Structure 1
Amino acid sequence: MKIVIPDDYQDGVRSLECFSRLSGHEVTIYNDTVRDFDQLEERFRDAEALVLIRERTPITDALLERLPRLRLISQTGKGIAHVDLDACTRRGIAVATGTGAPFAAAELTWGLVLSAMRHIPDEVAAMKAGRWQTRVGTGLRGRTLGIFGYGKIGSLVAEYGRVFGMRVLVWGREGSLERATAAGFDTADSQDDLFERSDVLSLHLTLNPGTRGIVTAAHLGAMKPSALLVNTSRAELIVPGALVDALKAGRPGMAALDVYEDEPVRDHPLLHLNNALCTPHVGFVERDGYELYFGAAFDNLLAFAEGSPRNLANPEVAGQS
C-alpha cells in the first residue's frame, strides 16, 4: 500500500522498532503540519492509507473529496474527533482506531507541577545567565491537589499527589466521584468548590460538547492568587481568552499548559506571560508510548491490507474497498 504519515515533527517514527512492520509498503513521512487544502491534496493524493498522529491534521469532507484513492485512515490512539467519520463512511473509507496508555501524559503533568511550583525553568535560565537563586519556590506537601476528571490520567496524577503528601480533592461526573471515593480520595461539593480550594488544579477531562468551555472566567477568578492551574488535556475546556485574562488579573497565580486551541503554536499570548509555563503538546511524546500508539496503528493497517480489517470505527465499510 501507499502510506502517508503526516505531522511527524521530530522525524521520530522511522526510529521506532515497530516501523519495520511496514517493510514492503511505500511509506512517505512529512515532518510539518500544513492546513492549505492544495498542499494537503498534493501530499495525500496518492495515498491509499493515512496514519494520523493524534489530532494534528483534521480530515474533512472537503479534503476527502480530493482523495479518491484513500481506502483507510489508521489513527494513533482512540480519539477521532478530528476525522469526519460520516464522510469517510459515505465514501467507503475505513477508519481504524488504536490504543494508548495514560502514563506519559500523567508524568508530563507532574513534571509541569514540580517545574511551575519550584520555578525550575526560571532558575535554570537565571543560572545560565550568571544569577544565583532568584526566586522562592512553593512545596507540595500538605497542600491541596484538585483533580477535575478522575479517568485514567487523572487517577494517576491523584496517586502522585498522594505520594507527595498532598490532600487530593476530586470533582467530575458521578462515576469519577464514585471511583475517587473508593480509592480513598476526598471529593469536592461542586466544581466551584474544587476551584476555590485547590492549590494545584489539574484538568483531566475529555473534550466533547458537554465539556467545551466548562472552565469559565468565574471559575478561574475564584482560584487562590497562589494557585497553579495545569492543563494537559485540551485547551478548549477553558473559555477562549479566559485564562490569559485570569493570569493577568492574578487568579490563579500561575498556569502550566501543554495544549492550545490552534497547534502547532507559532505565537500565543500565554508565551508572553511570566506566570505561564508552556510546553509544545509533548504529553504523549515519549518513546514507549510512541511504540504502543504506532504499533497498534500499524497492526490495524496491516490487518486491513491483508483483508481482515479490525478496530474499525465504521465497520459497515468493511468489504467495500
Structure 2
Amino acid sequence: MNIVISDDYQDCIRNLSCFSKLDGHQVSIHRDTLTDEAAIAERFAQADVALLVRERTRITASLLERLPNLKFISQTGRAANHVDLAACTARGIPVAAEGSATHAAAELAFGLLLASARNIVVEAERFKSGQWQTTLGVSLRGRTLGIAGYGKIGSTVAGFGKAFGMKVMVWGERPDSSRRAREDGFEVVADRREFFSRCDALSIHLRLTPSSCGMISASDLDLMKPTAILVNTSRAEVIAEGALASALQAGRPGFAAIDVYEREPIHGADHPLLKLPNALCTPHIGYVERDTYEAYFNFAIEQALAWERGEPMNLLNPEVWERRRTA
C-alpha cells in the first residue's frame, strides 16, 4: 500500500510502537497542514490510503475528484465531520474511524480549570521574571462546576470536580444525558438562564453538530459571573462566533481557558483570544499525549491493514463494502 499521512505536527508518528506494523509498505509523512486544495491533491495524488490525523485535513467532494488513486481513508479518532462521507460513498471509498481520547481530554480540561483558578501560569512566568507572589488564587472546593455536554468526557470531568469537592451540575439539554447525570448523582438544570448564572466554572463538552453550532450565545455568556471561569476543550464553534472574546472583554465570564479554535493550526499568535490577559490558551492538545496517540494510530493502522486483507473494520459507510462484495 501507498499510505500518505499528513499533519504530523510533532513528527512523532514514526516513533510510535505501532508504526512498525507498516513495515513493507510505502509511507509518506508530512508535518504541516495544507489548505489549498490543489496542494492537498498533489500531496495525496499517489495514495492508496489516506491516514488522517483527527480533523486537520478536510476531505471534500471536489478534492476526491482530484484523487483517482485513493481507495481507502483511515481516520484517527471517531470524529469525521471533516470528511464528506456522502462523496466518499458515491466514489466507492470506504472510510474507517475509531478511537477515544476521553481521559486525555478530561485531564486537560480539569488541568486548565485548576491552572486558571490558581493563576499557575501567571505566577510561574512572573517568578521567572524576578517577581514573587503577585495574585490571590481561588479554591475549587465548594464552588459550582457546570458541565455542558454529559458524554464520556463531560462525565469524567464531572467526576474530577466531585473529587475536588465541587458542587457539580449538568445542563440538561438532552433526555439521555440528563438521565445518566441523575443516575450518577449530579444535579440537572434544564433552564439555561439558571445554569449559566450559577456557574463558578463551566466546562464545555458538546459535540459539534448542526444543532450545537453556536448553541452557546452571547446572551448566555452575559449571564455568567464576573468571577466565573469558562473552559472549552470541545469545539470552538459551539460558542457563537466572536461571542467569547467580546464576553471576556466585557468581564462576563471573568476568565476563559481554551484549547480549540475555529481555524487550526494558528501560527504567529493570530487569534483574538491570544491577545486577552484573561484567557489561557493552549494549541488543541486535549488528546495530544503518548498513550492516546498509540491507541489512535494503532486503530488507524489496523484499519488500513484490515482493508488490505479484504476484512475492513470500523467503517462509517459499510454500504460501500457491501456493494462491492455483492457486485
Q: How many residues end up aligned between the 2 structures?
A: 321
For 2:230 and 2:314, how far apart are their aligned partners in 1? 36
Residue equivalent to 2:305: 302
For 1:199 and 1:169, how far apart are their aligned partners in 2? 11
For 2:277 and 2:55, how far apart are their aligned partners in 1? 29
Residue equivalent to 2:82: 82
Q: TM-score, normalised by structure 1?
A: 0.98
Describe the SS at the equivalent of 1:70: coil
Matched, 1:255 2:256: yes
The CA deviation at 1:191 is: 2.0
Residue equivalent to 2:19: 19
For 1:190 and 1:82, how far apart are their aligned partners in 2? 32
> Could you give the per-residue CA deviations for residues 130-158 of structure 1, whole angstroms, max 9, x where no partner exists?
11111111110000000011110000000
The CA deviation at 1:304 is: 0.3
Residue equivalent to 1:292: 295
Residue equivalent to 1:8: 8
Residue equivalent to 2:243: 242
For 1:129 and 1:238, how far apart are their aligned partners in 2? 35
The CA deviation at 1:320 is: 3.7
Structure 1 runs, 4 residues or longer, greater than 6 Å off? none
Describe the SS at the equivalent of 1:97: strand
For 1:256 and 1:154, how far apart are their aligned partners in 2? 16
For 1:316 and 1:176, how far apart are their aligned partners in 2? 30
1:165-176 equivalence runs, <5 A: 165-172=165-172, 173-176=174-177
> Could you give the per-residue CA deviations for residues 242-296 of structure 1, whole angstroms, max 9, x where no partner exists?
0000000000000000000000012100000000000000000011111111111
Q: List runs of 5+ in structure 2 lacking aligned partners.
A: none
For 1:304 and 1:12, how far apart are their aligned partners in 2? 24
The CA deviation at 1:101 is: 3.4
The CA deviation at 1:305 is: 0.7
Matched, 1:47 2:47: yes
Q: TM-score, normalised by structure 2?
A: 0.96
> Could you give the per-residue CA deviations for residues 28-49 of structure 1, whole angstroms, max 9, x where no partner exists?
0000101011211121100000
1:107-126 equivalence runs, <5 A: 107-126=107-126
Q: List runs of 5+ in structure 1 lacking aligned partners.
A: none
